[in-house]
Amino acid sequence: MSHNLDIQTQITDKSALCKALERMGFKGKFEVHDQPQTLMSWNRIQQNVKAEIIIRKQYLSNISNDFGFTLQKDGKYKITVDTGYVEKNAGWVERLSTYYGIEKMKMEAESRGQKVYEDTDEKNRPRLRIKMNGGSAYTNA
Q: Give rounded-to-5 percent helix, strand, coil for the chain.
A: 30, 40, 30
Its pTM stands at 0.86
Domains by residue range for the chain, with CATH: 4-104 (3.30.310)
What per-residue confidence (pLDDT) applies to 39?
93
Most confident range (mean pLDDT) of 1-10, 39-48, 104-113, 130-139 is 104-113
Characterize 47-73 residue by residue with b for buried, 16 or more Cβ atoms within 10 angstroms of its Cβ, and e for exposed. Answer: eebbbbbbbbbeebeeebbbbbbbbee
pLDDT (tens digit, 9 = 90+) per residue, 14-46? 999 999 999 999 999 999 999 999 998 877 777
CB atoms within 10 A of CB 46: 11
Beta-bridged to residue 6, according to DSSP, are 80
pLDDT (tens digit, 9 = 90+) per residue, 43-102? 777 788 999 999 998 888 766 789 899 999 999 999 998 888 888 888 889 999 999 999
Distance CA 86, CA 102 (A): 22
What per-residue confidence (pLDDT) applies to 131?
83
Report which residue type is found at 115.
Answer: K
Distance CA 13, CA 84 (A): 27
